[in-house]
Amino acid sequence: MRRFARSTIRRLAAAWPAAPTTPARPELLLIRPDHLGDVLFLLPALERLRRALPGFRVALMVGPWSYPIVARDPHVDEILTFPFPGFTREQPSNPFVPYLALRRLAAHLRRRAPLAAVILRDDHWWGAWLARAAGIPIRIGADHPAVRPYLTHPVRLTRSHWVERNCELLDATARLLGGRPPATAA
């Protein structure tokens, strides 16, 4: 009887789902919905971020229109593309389409389980809402009224040029995640 009980318990234990494992490299998701110029202005900040957080896996989500700009960037581990509502050239046939897309994309991101997300456009409330809906525990972005309700860490940006603002935001992100941004100015 004991042998049967032990055998049954072993089989049950083997079939029992294990607790989720912590990834070897925590993932940082960067969300940038914009077009050519704004994505180009992001590149110096990506280099700084990689130097500050070498142990992180960096995924950059951009619109398909921006993919060629970042496709070979050595400072990003993975490029995700998504046709962000409000940035595509066509209007949705149904006003609920952007929100249904948000729900589907949030479910996908939830399975990836990034540690943190950075909303790289000051007023991109849709992207901030996406990060929150995906259950990403650390959500960082500019301290802007449109995104503030969805962020865990709003960052007050003081610089005026977009290259500097991107560096300022990603430097703050690096510090928050335990990294040290390069001492040199952007």
Banded model confidence at residue 25, pLDDT cuts 50, 70, 90: confident
CATH number of the domain at 23-176, out of 3.40.50.2000, 3.20.20.140, 3.30.950.10, 2.40.30.170? 3.40.50.2000
Write down the mean pLDDT value for the chain. Answer: 89
Q: What pLDDT digit, counting tens, does each position of 114-166 carry? A: 999 999 999 999 999 999 999 999 999 999 999 999 999 999 999 999 999 99
138's tokens:
């650390």
Model confidence, pTM? 0.84
* Tens digit of each residue's pLDDT (9 = 90 or more) over 35-50: 889 999 999 999 999 9
For tokens 């995700």, name the residue.
80
Listed by start position, the domains of the chain span 23-176
What is the rounded distance in angstroms from the CA atom of residue 169 to the CA atom of residue 158?
A: 10
> Which one has a higher pLDDT value, 86 or 176?
176
